[in-house]
Amino acid sequence: MRNLTAVKAALATQRIETPSWAYGNSGTRFKVFGQPGVPRNPREKIADAAQVHQFTGVAPSVAVHIPWDQVDDYAALAAFAADLGVALGTVNANVFQDDDYRLGSVANPDPRVRRKALDHLLECVDIMDATGSRDLKLWFADGTNYPGQDDIRARQDRLAGALAAVYQRLGPDQRMVLEYKLFEPSFYTMDVPDWGTSLLHCLALGPKAAVIVDTGHHAPGTNIEFIVAVLLRAGRLGGFDFNSRFYADDDLMAGAADPFQLCRIMHAVGSGGARAPEAGVAFMLDQCHNIEPKIPGQIRSVLNVQEATAKALLVDREALAAAQLAGDVLGANAVLMDAYDTDVRPLLAQVRGDMGLDPDPVAAYARSGYAEKIIAERVGGTPAGWGS
Ligand code: RM4
Ligand code: MN
């Protein structure tokens, strides 16, 4: 058992970023079930994110997605967020929802489309200047559906060219983080399908480029904690988009499908000395709440990440190292499982109490009346949705 004071301090200082799009309506290609009270604009999304922080104490920033969160004055939006006790976090670029991008964005064979996509990415850095955001998150839907459709290597060259142009534009304290995804929406090739491709581009760019691991973007059974360890060793783990998946990119609540995997990932992060906010690894949620209420869904997800982190923090690292060095296979495994099998909910309730929070954020939010208030107030207008 580790020093409990240190464990509690680590839990109290953890930072988990929530995504603005989690608060809007979302669904599948079969149906979007709208919910009453969902935000109609970026400010209302930020207000909802501020609730998640108010009740959990560890979600002090909200990621924005451009153009979904487009406004005339980003500095004013950042000031609005600050008034509610949160900051604007990662700026997510969107080069996948325009008719021009049918054959891709920065890797499109048409130079005009490539230029348009690049201009959007550069505009996102302008937005970061105004909001004070550190990270530009790049996820490309680019790829091909059929063998022979385009030249795989030429597409990599085009991608590299755009990334270099964005990299040049970054300020000294800004970073670009490059996300990968195995498949979808392109089915034959994705231009950034895996961590290796992302890492190669980041290494070519320089130290301000790092890899984002979206937990839903792998083949079933992939050992994500191995990827985490390798990226940390290379100094290029930019952060996480946490979510759960049963089959593909399900975007379900983090820790819902496989809480043990989330704990193993947090253990790998801790082994790499990268759990503290100063290490620069961004812990973000990238989720959609299609059938469950959204703010409680975000709160539950934050708690799930906290619980996985607490278990990882409780691993007796000295005992683990001793068992590993002694070649004690069962002993080493038992040390890890002892921590994982601990019920950390009482510990987290204590941490929240020490932070002046209600020990049960889900119940406290339900009692607060905020859900009823937004249902009553947010009448008329167009509810925000994934893609609008
Ligand atoms: C993508 C990717 C990005 C997220 C969008 C909404 O699949 O995961 O991180 O910004 O979805
Ligand atoms: Mn993602």
Q: In this structure, how many other beta carbons lie within 10 angstroms of the beta carbon of residue 141?
A: 18
Q: Residue 155's Cα: distance from chain center in Å? A: 26
Amino acid residing at 142: D
- Is the beta carbon of 251 within 6 A of some atom in ligand 1? no
Checking if the pLDDT of 2 tops 80, the result is: no
If you measure from the C-alpha of residue 286 to the centroid of ligand 2, how many angstroms do you get, rounded to a whole number?
5
pLDDT digits 0-9 by tens, 33-81: 999 999 999 999 999 999 999 999 999 999 999 999 999 999 999 999 9
If you measure from the C-alpha of residue 15 to the centroid of ligand 1, how many angstroms do you get, rounded to a whole number?
20
Sheet holding 87-93, edge to edge: 18-19, 61-66, 87-93, 135-138, 175-179, 209-214, 237-242, 282-285
pLDDT digits 0-9 by tens, 113-149: 999 999 999 999 999 999 999 999 999 999 999 999 9
Checking if the pLDDT of 387 tops 90, the result is: no
Checking if the pLDDT of 362 tops 60, the result is: yes
The helix (H) or strand (E) run that includes residue 354 is helix 345-354
Amino acid residing at 151: D
- Return the DSSP state at 64: E
> What are the angstrom distances between the C-alpha of 217 and each of 101, 242, 328, 377?
21, 10, 34, 37
124 alpha carbon, closest ligand: 1
Identify any residues that bridge with 219 across adjacent strands, giving them in sequence order. Answer: none
Checking if the pLDDT of 1 tops 60, the result is: no
- Is the beta carbon of 17 within 6 A of some atom in ligand 1? no
If you measure from the C-alpha of residue 279 to the centroid of ligand 2, how many angstroms do you get, rounded to a whole number?
21
Tally of helices (H runs) and strands (E runs) in the chain: 14, 10
Mean pLDDT within 158-187: 98
The number of the ligand 1 atom at minimal distance from the alpha carbon of 137 is: 9
Q: Which pair of structure tokens corresponds to residue 114?
A: 């490539």
pLDDT at residue 348, rounded to an integer: 98
The helix (H) or strand (E) run that includes residue 262 is helix 259-271
Average pLDDT, the chain: 97
Checking if the pLDDT of 388 tops 70, the result is: no
Radius of gyration over alpha carbons of the chain, in Å?
21
Alpha-carbon dihedral angle through residues 210, 92, 124, 94, given to the nearest 10 degrees: 120
Mean pLDDT within 334-358: 98
183 alpha carbon, closest ligand: 1
If you measure from the C-alpha of residue 3 to the centroid of ligand 1, how many angstroms do you get, rounded to a whole number?
38
Mean pLDDT within 226-243: 98
The region, left, alpha or beta by phi > 0 then psi within -120 to 50, assigned to residue 85 is: left
pLDDT digits 0-9 by tens, 262-321: 999 999 999 989 999 999 999 999 999 999 999 999 999 999 999 999 999 999 999 999
